[in-house]
Amino acid sequence: MAGDEGTRGDLELGTIARLVRIAAERHGTRDAIVDGDTTLSFVELAARVRRAAGALIHAGVAPGDRVAIWGANSWQWEVAALGVHSVGAVVVPINTRFKGPEAAYVLAKSGARLLFTECDFLGADLHASLRAADASLPRLGRVVTLRGPARGDVLEWSTFIEEGARVPDEEAQGRAEAVGPHDLGDVIFTSGTTGHPKGALATHAQSLRAFRDWADVVGLRPTDRYLVALPYFHTFGYKAGWLAALMVGATVFPQPTFEVDDILVRVARDRITVLPGPPALYQTLLARPDLRERDLSSLRLAVTGAAVIPVELIHRMRRELAFETIVTGYGLTEATGVSTMCRAGDDPETIASTSGRAIPGVEVRVVDDAGTELPRGEPGEIVVRGYSVMRGYLDDPEATRAAIDEAGWLHTGDVGVMDPRGYLRITDRKKDMFIVGGFNAYPAEIERVILQHDAIAQAAVVGAPDERLGEIGVAFVVPRAGRSVDAGELIAFCRERMANFKVPRKVVLVPSLPMNATGKVQKFILREKVRAS
């Protein structure tokens, strides 16, 4: 099934570097970003980006260099990313939930030359955790704090930006004009079945085209006030968030952490109209005992997905959260974040039970093991082809060949059914992957960490249903001979070494794991045990 509407994002805007100038010309002194005490108009945003680009040039960042951003949603995050795009360098977002070793892997694999981070994020010094990892990062030069105080050899944001004044505007503008639509724009790392993250490569043109069309499909407007609670390190918070808003002229309100009380206050105070998020966000809001006392009358548009959605949730979102339009979709980082979407006029059952149909310019099929398209209504693997498919995995041609076949089809590993209208229903996820509060968790990566514990001989992790988060991890572990394992201590061990959403919430001690004839763990048996319990 191919999307049949017209597309225009990449043809109209060219590059993200050019978008900054176009947005300033079109939207002028209207608010682009409102972040606490800082409000930037589109003209002011462009000026800040020019200064950030100058600072990057002064720091020796060259076209094609990687620049990592490891921090919470903020106006500085957006300005830093746009500055990186404007000098022809490549943005590498890092998950704020990552621990030092996880961040170090991304920095080393990407060869990042410069890092924007925070020395005080929810009481944690991200850069200190990176130093504690004692990783070899020979290419990493400067480290700049996005917000708050700088410690050690970290450079404060204001000091870094001041250095940009030494670079003439003409030089910065020349670098921006030299960026091409098919130049690499970002490398977003996505975990995989190998246990190590892989960097998906996307160009300026891919991101602009996909999310200009996304904005058209969901009906994002220049008058919208968009609270971006999904993290900027995630494709959705970054591209369906502030990048889409910049393209249409909507005002962005960055939300640094998922705090329900804060979100409710901001919706009322800032008259928020757009609030996307995973189903868990809306379920949490609906569970509030004081919901009726809150003013949610400004809300207009919700975009969700990433989990099975009860039809009643869609009805309650309209009835109790006042949303006029609710849209669901399906996508993955390897396809620039979006492949199918419902449309604004779809009924609640379609929105809840499907992930919509192909976006414009993209083909989506359901195929058998031989790659032959299956009749409508029959389950098979979901494959995607079109402009949005990544350019490949960073420095990993073998993994790229395994993911994208010779005909250009991206094999998602997800199982789905397509109905006669071309609407897709996801019936199973990438092999063993599960989704915790909207974040992909891959068992192989979690198991690799668990096996670092000297008392563990074998480990297998599966997802289990959870009312609040959608799913949580359950670890089945086999202790080494003569060793004992304390579940609480093992969970604490994991919490020190991985992002919190990956940490198993439950540990089950077993004498052995179920294996098939080839020695592979039969995880379907473990999932059945979890469901039975």
- DSSP, res 230: S
71-91 confidence digits (pLDDT tens)? 999 999 999 999 999 999 999
Examine the pLDDT at 153 and tell me if it is beyond 50: yes
Mean pLDDT of 17-26: 97
Overall residue count recorded for the chain in this entry: 533
- Indicate if the pLDDT at residue 9 is higher than 80: no
Residue 378 clears pLDDT 70, i.e. is over it: yes
Please, are residues 54 and 172 in contact by the beta-carbon 8 Å criterion? yes
User: Position of tokens 């058998």?
Assistant: 368
- Report strand pairing: 362-367 vs 357-358: unpaired
Q: What φ, ψ does residue 402 adopt, rounded to 5°?
A: -70, -25
Asked if residues 217 and 239 have their Cβ atoms less than 8 Å apart, the reply is no
For CATH 3.40.50.980, the residue range(s) in the chain are 20-189
Report residue 264 as tokens.
Answer: 């409710």
Given this model, what pLDDT does residue 135 score? 78
Domain with CATH 3.30.300.30 in the chain: 434-532
Output the pLDDT for position 411. Answer: 96
* pLDDT score, position 81: 98
Six-digit token string for 342:
């419902």
Amino acid 439: pLDDT: 87
3-state secondary structure of 93: strand
How do residues 356-376 score in pLDDT, each as one tens digit? 999 999 999 999 989 999 999
pLDDT, position 429: 67
Residues 441, 446: Cα–Cα separation, whole Å: 8
In angstroms, the Cα distances linking 431 to 276, 354, 409, 463 are: 27, 20, 18, 11
Look at residue 25 in the predicted model and tell me its pLDDT: 97
Both tokens assigned to 272:
């928020």
Return mean pLDDT, the chain. 91
Q: In the prediction, which pLDDT does 206 show?
A: 95
Judging by beta carbons within 10 Å of its beta carbon (0-12, 13-18, 19+), is residue 6 exposed, middle or buried?
A: exposed
Name the band, by pLDDT with cuts 50, 70 and 90, for residue 3.
low
Return the higher-pLDDT residue of 80 and 131: 80
The pair of three-digit structure tokens given for residue 523, joined into one six-digit string: 């995880």
Q: 20-189 — its CATH code? A: 3.40.50.980
Q: Which of 509, 520, 506 is closest to 456 using CA atoms? A: 509
Closest CA to 66 of 12, 106, 123, 122: 106
Answer whether residue 430 shows pLDDT above 70.
Answer: no
Q: Give the mean pLDDT of 27-45.
A: 98
SS3 assignment, position 310:
coil
DSSP, residue by residue, 311-359: HHHHHHHHHHS--SEEEEEE--GGGTT-SEE--TT--HHHHHH---EEP
Q: Which structure tokens are listed for 404? A: 């994208």
User: Which of the two residues, 398 and 481, has the higher pLDDT score?
Assistant: 398
pLDDT at 40: 98
Q: Is the confidence at residue 4, as pLDDT, over 80?
A: no
Encode pLDDT of 278-288 as tens digits. Answer: 887 888 888 88
Sign of the torsion formed by the C-alpha atoms of 168, 173, 174 and 175: positive
Contacts of 172 (CB under 8 A, 6+ apart): 50, 53, 54, 57, 86, 87, 164
Question: For 257-314, how does the pLDDT look when each residue is reduced to its tens digit (9 = 90+)?
Answer: 878 889 999 999 999 999 998 887 888 888 888 999 999 999 999 998 755 577 888 9
Report residue 520's pLDDT band, with 50, 70 and 90 as the boundaries.
low
The alpha-carbon radius of gyration of the chain (Å, integer) is: 23
pLDDT of 196 > 90? The answer is: no
User: CA-to-CA distance for 247 and 31, rounded, in angstroms?
Assistant: 13
Percent of the chain residues past pLDDT 90, beyond the cut: 70
DSSP three-state, residue 145: strand
What pLDDT does residue 444 have? 76
Average pLDDT over residues 423-452: 83
User: Which strand ranges, in their side-by-side order, compose the sheet holding 225-228?
Assistant: 38-41, 31-35, 251-254, 225-228
439-465 average pLDDT score: 88
| Confidence label for 246 from pLDDT (cuts 50, 70 and 90) | very high
Average pLDDT value for residue range 153-163:
94
Phi-psi map region of 249: left, alpha, beta (phi>0 left; psi -120 to 50 alpha):
left
Write the pLDDT tens digit of every residue in 166-175: 999 999 999 9
Task: For domain 434-532, give the CATH number.
Answer: 3.30.300.30
- For residue 300, how far is the Cα from the chain centroid? 23
Q: What is the pLDDT of residue 10?
A: 59
Rounded average pLDDT over 469-492: 93
Judged on CB neighbours under 10 Å (0-12, 13-18, 19+), 246 is buried
- Number of neighbouring beta carbons within 10 Å of residue 45: 23
pLDDT at residue number 518:
44
Q: How far apart are the first and last CA of the chain?
A: 40
Provide the H-helix boundaries in 391-451.
397-403, 443-450
Kindly state the average pLDDT of the residues 527-533.
86
Whether the CB-CB separation of 134 and 107 falls below 8 Å is answered with: no
Query: Is the CB of residue 302 less than 8 Å from the CB of residue 325?
Result: yes
Residue with tokens 């990433």: 306
The share of the chain scoring above pLDDT 70, in percent, equals 95
The pLDDT value recorded for residue 519 is: 54
Q: How far is CA 199 from the centre of its chain?
A: 13
